[in-house]
Amino acid sequence: MVRYVDLITDAVQSGRNDDTAQSPPSAIPGSFFSRAAQTPAAKEPDSDKDIYLGLWKQLQDIKLTILERKDFDILPLKEQLRAIAGSPGVIDRLYHYTTRYGNEEDYTASHSINTMLYALKIAQQMEYAPGDLEALGLAALLHDIGMFTIPDSILRKPETLSAEETATVRRHPEIGRSVLAPWSAEMPWLAQAAFEHHELEDGSGYPRGLRGEQISEFAKIIGLASTYEAMTHERPHRRCVSVRELIDTKNRSFAPRVMRAFLEQISLYPIGSFVRLNNRTLGKVVETHAGQPLRPVVQIMEDADGNRVTDEKTVNLLGNPILWVTGAVSDEELSRIQKR
C-alpha cells in the first residue's frame, strides 16, 4: 500500500528549485507579470487571475531573497490574505485556478497557493472565523518555505533519491520553522504549521512522528490540503495519482473532522474547470456534489472526435457507472480549443 507520507515526499523530491527561473506558471500574454515587468507597482491586481499570479510572484521573490540570505517581509502577503479570507467569493473564484496551475516544472509557489486555497475551503466548512481563516491561509501559503532552500541537484533529480538526499528533503519542515522563527512571537502558529505539516494522525509522519492531538489543527488541515494538491497535479516524474485512497473512509492518516470537512468542500474538479471523460468527450464542470469529489455534473463541449457540441448536453456523473472523469484539461489544451 502506498503511504501518503511517501507520496508527498515523492512529489516534493521531484521538484525544482531554480533560483534563476522567474517565468510565471504558464506564458500568459498580457498577464500581470508582463505588465508589471514594464511598470512595477503601477498596476493594481484587477482580476482573480492577477491575484493568483501576484501571489505566485511574491512567493518567487521570497524564494530568491531566502537564497540570497537576505531578510524578507511577509506583511504584504498577510494583508493580501486578509482581503482573500474576508471574501468567500474571492476564495471560490481563486479555487478555479487550482486546476490550471500547479503542473509546471517549478511548482513550489503554485503548490503553496493551491494548498492555501484548499486549506481555506476546508476551514470554511469547519466554520472558522475570518481572523482564523486569514491566519490559516498565511500558514498554508508559507508551509513549504523550507523547500525553497533544497538544492536543485536533489529536487530536479528524476531518479530515486539516495537515503542521504531523502534525509535532506525531509529536513524542509525544520528549515521552514527556522525561516519563519522571526515571526514566532507575533504568530507562533506560522512556524508550527511549517514544522508539523508532514505529521500524520496515526503517527507515521515526520519529522517527529507526532499523532492525534499532538499535531496542531492548522498543520492537520494544511497537511491534508498539501497532500491532496500533490496527488492531483502532475510532477516531472509522474502524472496525477488517484485520490481514491485518500478519500477512503478507512484512511487513518488524517483527522476525521478535517477529512469530513475536506470531503464536503473539495471537488476534485471545481465548477468552471474543464475535464476529459473516459469516452474522450470534453466538458465543463457546471455542478458538484458535496462528498462526491470525483463525480461532478459536466456540460459536454466537445465530442470524442474533437467537434464542438452546440446543443446543451449535461451529464451527471453521480449514479452513472459508465462515465467517469479521466483528468483535468491542461491550460495548453484549453487555449488550443478556445482558439478554434
Interface positions with Fe ion (CB under 5 A)? 144
263-298 burial code (b ≥16 CB/10 A, e <16): bebbbbbbeebbbbbeeebbbbbeebeeeebbbbbb
Q: Is 10 or 144 the residue whose CB approaches Fe ion more closely?
A: 144
Q: Minimum Å distance from CB 172 to Fe ion?
A: 6
Q: Is 221 or 329 the residue whose CB approaches Fe ion more closely?
A: 221
Q: Minimum Å distance from CB 197 to Fe ion?
A: 6
Q: Is 6 or 79 the residue whose CB approaches Fe ion more closely?
A: 6
Cis bond upstream, residue 25 (ω within 30): no
SS3 94: helix
Q: Minimum Å distance from CB 215 to Fe ion?
A: 14
Q: Is 144 or 229 the residue whose CB approaches Fe ion more closely?
A: 144
Cβ burial of 303 (10 Å; 0-12, 13-18, 19+) is middle
Q: Return all residues near 146 (Cβ < 8 A) that are at least 6 apart.
A: 171, 172, 173, 174, 175, 176, 177, 178, 179, 194
Q: Is 196 or 331 the residue whose CB approaches Fe ion more closely?
A: 196
Q: Which of 195, 245, 237, 185 is nearest to 216 (CA)?
A: 195
Q: Grid coordinates representing 327?
A: 483528468
Q: Minimum Å distance from CB 90 to Fe ion?
A: 25
Residue nearest to Fe ion (CB): 144
Q: Minimum Å distance from CB 313 to Fe ion?
A: 42
